[in-house]
Chain A
Amino acid sequence: MIRLEQVSRIFPVGDQRVHALADVSLHIAKGEYVSIMGPSGSGKSTLLHILGLLDRPSHGRYLLEVEDVTRLDEAAQSRTRRDKIGFVFQFFHLIPRLTAAQNIALPLLLAGCPAAERQRRVAQLLAATGLVDRAGHRPDQLSGGQRQRVAIARAMVMSPAVLLADEPTGNLDRHSGQEIIALLEDLNRQGLTLLVVTHDPQLGARAHRRLRMIDGRIVADSNSDHAP
């Protein structure tokens, strides 16, 4: 499903070269639930960005569903990102002027999906995330937990192969956080590949497979069978 082969990401900082990722190799199978933990600056966000095609590795190969996506051009990468990857962010990143339903429909809109189909998909996801009576509300009229549910619905609307969550509970109170985790885990049980980057050890411990990163390297993998 996801295969990284000796992937490095080097940032030039002044005349220094910082290895945000150093020779990371990783294989994640379909339907896995993986958490990535580690101190700040350990490279977990960079890893997530590369997996999400928001960033390109300096060296190495990245295969997503057997396709070498590092070799795609910008437009093709955008398409892959749209069709196969869902993002959930710590700060939700909803567009304030759009209603919950419109925010959820955004990826469909970008994909040029016809309005009727859009409505059908959005209705499904509103139901699945328990937001039916919030469809017409704008983000500032929603609670943090509801906003994150809108963001998850948006991430799921294209039926992606993998969901990448960057501190999904980092900006929520305990109760809302638990609800969000329950929702994500539920999606995982239905077959979604789920990657969660977190600082929170309790959240990280819930994943079936736990990766630990330090200084751009994966230093611990709870399931070393999967190591390439």
Chain B
Amino acid sequence: MTAADTLAFSFLTLRSYPSRTLMMLAAMALGVAAVVILTALGEGARRYISREFASLGTHLLIVLPGRSETTGAAPSLFVGVTPRDLTIADAVALHRSRSIRRVAPMIIGSATAAWRQRSRELAVLGSTRSLLALRHWRMQQGRFLPELAPELAQPVCVIGTKVRRELFAAHSPLGEWLRLGERRCRVIGVLATEGRSIGLDVEDLVVIPVASARALFNSPSLFRILVEARSRAAIPRAKAFILDTLRQRHQGEADVTVVTQDAVLATFDRIFKALTLTVAGIAAISLTVAGVLIMNVMLVTVSQRRAEIGLLKALGASRRLIQTLFLSEAALLSLGGALLGLLLGWSGSRLLAALYPALPADAPAWAVMGACSMALITGLLFALLPARRAASLDPVQALMRH
């Protein structure tokens, strides 16, 4: 029997049992659609996250004093003893690389801020103008820190919205003198950015030039240096340059740690990939269920079609041919179901995309291919038992009763 004839015969058979065929098609289609939609969701979430990260600046490197070593007692980077401080001069030295676009040294502390009768304990961040672009912060009023050599102090500050609200209330803060600890600085701008950034509540923050912060806290040590590489590709070169430069400056001691945002992103990426695989696996179970259904229905079919199977044998169909006929029915069902499922899954993910435009829900190619081949494989695998049973029917027994 030729392949085309086999398929045509199977097709005719399937068509003559419409309700049974539709049921099996639906089971397969739902399984495939589940895989497509769930992976589209997982993939969408992954892309959403990486897009969010990209907007934060994916080319970011963070330089921390101290080396990340698991020394047993104190694994923490921040609590551990740092052999040598990161200094403003270190930060300035990092400007010399072509792979580095921006450098922002950071000193963090807290101080009492006061204006007229009101005073508050606030987080104070010492940095440079580069920080604005580097963190993608926006201004609500006025300007950010002036372009200034990092070693130079200047009595200016930029405040967060909450600081403005609580200290100045209805007054315009621009041009006012804010008392910070023992010093005074003029408010030149208000940050518009809300929420948290690099572990700080931006709304509840005072930003001053880094040299001023050094003087205010009377400590030469930087908390971190934020570095932005020119491109994603430049990140490894920038990292090597930073480690190199700082080792030279620290008498050959490699005592800083460089964390790339890329690494953080990669971790998230891995987590979401694992998540997508997991939901795909769960959805694949529904394909297996569809396979079991096909098997059950086909077993019933075999006993209902005993006379026909007996007849085909009497007309000269070998065991092998009978088996092929049943398997080709299963293959047609699986493929038909898979196509329907793809259509369903595709419409489903379109609908998701329409409802939640922020979520780029598109099933990845591997999931589509995987779902289709999985449908075919489970369909054939579960049809094997019914097909074998049909093939091994005794034609005399099968033909006896009509």
A110 CB–B CB distance under 8 Å: yes
Assess the A97–B316 pair: CB atoms within 8 A. no
Q: Quick check: A109 and B1 within 8 Å, CB to CB?
A: yes
Task: Annotate B343-377 by CB proximity to A: 1 below 8 A, 0 otherwise.
Answer: 00000000000000000000000000000000000
B390 in the interface (beta carbon within 8 A): no
Q: Chain A contacts of B307 at CB under 8 A?
A: 93
Q: B316, A110: Cβ atoms under 8 Å?
A: yes
List B362-402 residues whose CB lies under 8 Å from chain A: 395-396, 399, 402
Closest CB-CB distance, B9 to chain A, in whole Å?
7
Determine the chain B residues whose CB is within 8 A of the CB of A96 once the complex forms.
16
Task: Report yes or no: A81 in contact with B314, Cβ–Cβ below 8 A.
Answer: yes
Q: How far is the CB of A49 from chain B (nearest CB, A)?
A: 5
- Whether the pair B315, A154 counts as a contact (CB closer than 8 A) is yes
In the assembled complex, A145 has its CB within 8 A of some CB on chain B: no
1/0 contact trace for B308-322 toward A, CB 8 Å?
101111111111110
CB-CB nearest in chain A for B320: A75
Q: Are A54 and B402 in contact (CB under 8 A)?
A: no
The reply on B182 being an interface residue by CB < 8 A is no
Q: Is B12 an interface residue (CB 8 A)?
A: yes
Contact B2 A110 (CB under 8 A): no
**Chain A, 41-73, contact with B by CB distance < 8 Å: what is the 0/1 string?**
000000001001011000000000000000000
Within 8 Å CB of B315, what residues of A? 81-82, 87, 106-107, 110, 154
Contact of B396 among A54, A106, A154 (CB under 8 A): A54
Is the CB of A111 closer than 8 A to any CB of chain B?
yes
Q: How many residues of B contact A (CB 8 A)?
A: 26
- Using A95-B311, A109-B1 as known contacts, say yes or no to A78 and B16 having CB atoms under 8 A apart: no
In angstroms, Cα B315 to Cα A154, docked, is: 9
| A52 contact set on B, CB distance < 8 A | 314
Residues in A neighbouring B396, C-beta threshold 8 A = 49, 54-55
Write out the residue numbers on chain B whose beta carbons fall within 8 Å of the beta carbon of A112.
1-2, 5
B residues near A33, Cβ cutoff 8 Å: none
> Please, how many angstroms separate the alpha-carbon atoms of A155 and B46 in the complex?
64
Which residues of chain B are near A154, meaning CB under 8 Å? Answer: 315
B13 at the interface (CB under 8 A from A): yes
Assess whether B316 is in contact with A91, with CB atoms less than 8 Å apart: no
B308 touches A110 (CB 8 A): no
Counting CB contacts under 8 A, is A74 at the interface? yes
Which secondary structure characterizes the binding site on chain B? helix
A106 to B316, CA, bound (A): 10
Q: Tell whether A98 is near chain B: CB-to-CB under 8 Å.
A: yes
Query: Is there contact, CB below 8 Å, between A111 and B318?
Result: no
A83 contacts the other chain (Cβ, under 8 Å)? Answer: yes
| Residue of B whose beta carbon sits closest to that of A155 | B315
Shortest C-beta distance, A200 to chain B (Å), equals 19
> Given A81-B314, A95-B308, A97-B16, is A110 in contact with B402 using a C-beta cutoff of 8 Å?
no
A189 near B: Cβ within 8 Å?
no
Q: Is A79 an interface residue (CB 8 A)?
A: yes
Q: Name which residue of chain A comes closest to B317, CB basis.
A: A110
Residue in contact with B1 in the complex, picked from A89, A95, A110, CB distance below 8 Å: A110
Judging by beta carbons under 8 Å apart, are A87 and B314 in contact? yes
Contact status of A91 and B402, CB under 8 A, knowing A54-B313, A74-B319, A75-B318? yes
Query: Hey, which bits of chain A sit against chain B, CB under 8 A?
Result: 49, 52, 54-55, 74-75, 78-79, 81-83, 87, 89, 91, 93, 95-98, 106-107, 109-112, 154, 158
New A-B pairs, 19, CB < 8 Å, besides A79-B316, A82-B317, A107-B315: A54-B314, A54-B399, A55-B396, A75-B318, A78-B321, A81-B315, A82-B315, A87-B315, A89-B399, A91-B402, A93-B307, A93-B399, A95-B308, A106-B315, A107-B316, A109-B9, A110-B316, A111-B316, A154-B315
Chain A to chain B: the 7 pairs with minimum beta-carbon distance, closest first: A82-B316, A97-B16, A78-B318, A91-B402, A93-B311, A75-B318, A54-B395
Could you list 19 A-B pairs, sorted by A, with CB under 8 Å? Answer: A52-B314, A54-B399, A74-B318, A75-B320, A78-B319, A78-B321, A81-B314, A82-B317, A83-B316, A87-B314, A93-B307, A93-B399, A97-B12, A98-B12, A109-B5, A110-B317, A111-B1, A112-B2, A112-B5
